[in-house]
Amino acid sequence: IAFIVAAVVFSFVWGYIAIKPIMTDYVKQKDFINDMSHEIRTPLAVIKGNLENVLASPDSTVSEQSEMLYASLEEVDYMTDISSGLLNIVRGRSASRGKETKMSDVISETVDMVADMATMANKALIANVEYCDLPVDREKIKQLASVLIENAVKYTAEGDRITVRLKNTKDGCVFTVTDTGIGVPKGDLETIFDRFYRAENAKDIPGTGLGLSIAKAIVEGMGGSIKAAANVPCGLEITCVFKNNKSASAANRV
């Protein structure tokens, strides 16, 4: 009897272990569909209303209906941004790895790429990138750095400063982006990485609210951690911590 009970328990445990990845993927797909359907509802309603108004005046010229047509195109662009953002979140969580490169190389490359954007906006972009040979997925880290730096540029005013740091540590490396912009209300720092989160002080600035969710998915998908803190005297600081494989293995053994 004891053997039968043990066999049954083992079967349940083994079955749970085997099905857990499938259930995790199912939940992710369900969340993706729910988020997508919720966020595109309003844009679709706007497009539908505009097209109905255009069709109600069949003799009108394109020029006369241009305002509603342009408004519809803007909603299409918004839906495209949302779908791309949600797909990037799913990809960021994926454990699959593309072309590998050193962390410091891809961070430096991304800073150089975004520097012109900051200069054109009359904002100071300061970079302090230490050499770090941690092997990382080039495209994922490039997207992470782009999201964080472009966000900092976006939510700062002329004359503000964005500071990018990469610090080499014995366990891996720490990537930090700090700005002197509008910041985030203190009570919202815990929810800043939620999908579609938009702070009250950023409602008038165009965006989908997916940038930091993408960043979190990429960092955590690589086994790292990410957190937000208020910068002093103003602005926001995002810190990403990545551990090398040896450190991660040691931590898991502990």
pLDDT higher than threshold 60 for residue 252: no
What pLDDT is attached to residue 17? Answer: 65
pLDDT higher than threshold 90 for residue 10: no
- Before 233, cis peptide (omega within 30)? yes
Q: Which residue has the higher pLDDT, 83 or 109?
A: 109
Which residues touch 206 (CB under 8 Å, ≥6 apart)?
A: none
Global pTM exceeds 0.75 = no
What's the pLDDT tens digit per position in 160-216?
A: 999 999 999 998 999 999 999 999 888 888 888 988 888 888 878 888 788 898 899
Distance CA 211, CA 229 (A): 17
Distance CA 212, CA 194 (A): 8
What's the pLDDT tens digit per position in 127-148?
A: 999 999 999 989 899 999 999 9
For the residues 24-51, what does the mean pLDDT come to? Answer: 70
Average pLDDT, the chain: 82
Q: What percent of the chain has pLDDT over 70?
A: 74
What pLDDT is attached to residue 251? Answer: 40
Q: How confident is the model at residue 106 (pLDDT cuts 50, 70, 90)?
A: very high
pLDDT higher than threshold 60 for residue 247: no
For the residues 110-116, what does the mean pLDDT come to? Answer: 91
